[in-house]
Amino acid sequence: MMKKTLLLASAACLFSFGANAMDLSAEMKPYVGLDYAYSHGDIKKDAGIKKDYNSGIINAGVKMGDYAGLEAFFQQSGERKAHHSELGKVKSEFYAYGLDAYGYMPMGCEKKFNLLGSLGLANYNMKVKVPGGNHDKQKVGYRVGIGASYDLTENWSARIMGRYSYIGAHDIKSLQEVTAGVRYTF
């Protein structure tokens, strides 16, 4: 009798664990998004490149429950032209890709408004074109950000973030960014 009771209790535990696992997967909400970013760089004066860039960002992520998420992104800036006293005409642009962990703090009764915090790593590649040739500088840096999001509907949300990215490269030390965009949650 004891063995049957133990077997039934074990089966009940397994089924309840499986039900909890289904609940956890139901709380994982994948999404995709598009952002505009304005970036201002801490750039060495004699580098001869512009400090301000406009860029587009595509991202895909997953929100895990109400308080956490992960997001992968790719960012591409537009090309900027400048004139350097020694080098002549200089063109520069950058791209970046990486992964950010997000923390969410739902606000209000309906929990449509969220305060956000992020921490992540990214690979930054700065491309500089000068009359004598091209230079690619690649560096891994870390990123921290704060922001807010608002759920427009069940699937659509809007987000704005302020972010500091430490790159630590010779010509570009860091980027300060403001991003704004939309997300579609599946």
CA distance 158 to 147: 11
- b (16+ CB within 10 A) / e for 5-39: eeeeeeeeeeeeeeeeeeeeeeeeeebebebebeb
Rounding to the nearest 10 degrees, give the CA dihedral for residues 136, 138, 143, 145.
Answer: 20
Q: What is the pTM of this model?
A: 0.81
Domains and CATH numbers, the chain: 29-185 (2.40.160.20)
DSSP 78: P
pLDDT tens per residue, range 86-139: 767 888 899 999 999 999 999 989 989 999 999 999 999 988 888 878 888 899
Task: Map tokens 């922001």 to a residue.
Answer: 147
Q: Is the pLDDT of residue 184 over 60?
A: yes
- Beta carbons within 8 Å of 6's beta carbon, 6+ residues apart: none
Strands 80-84 and 68-77, how do they pair?
Answer: unpaired
pLDDT at 1: 52
Structure token pair of residue 73: 């992104």
Task: Tell me which residue of 171, 175, 174, 150 sits closest to 160, measured CA to CA.
Answer: 150
pLDDT (mean) for 52-57: 96
Structure token pair of residue 26: 């139901």
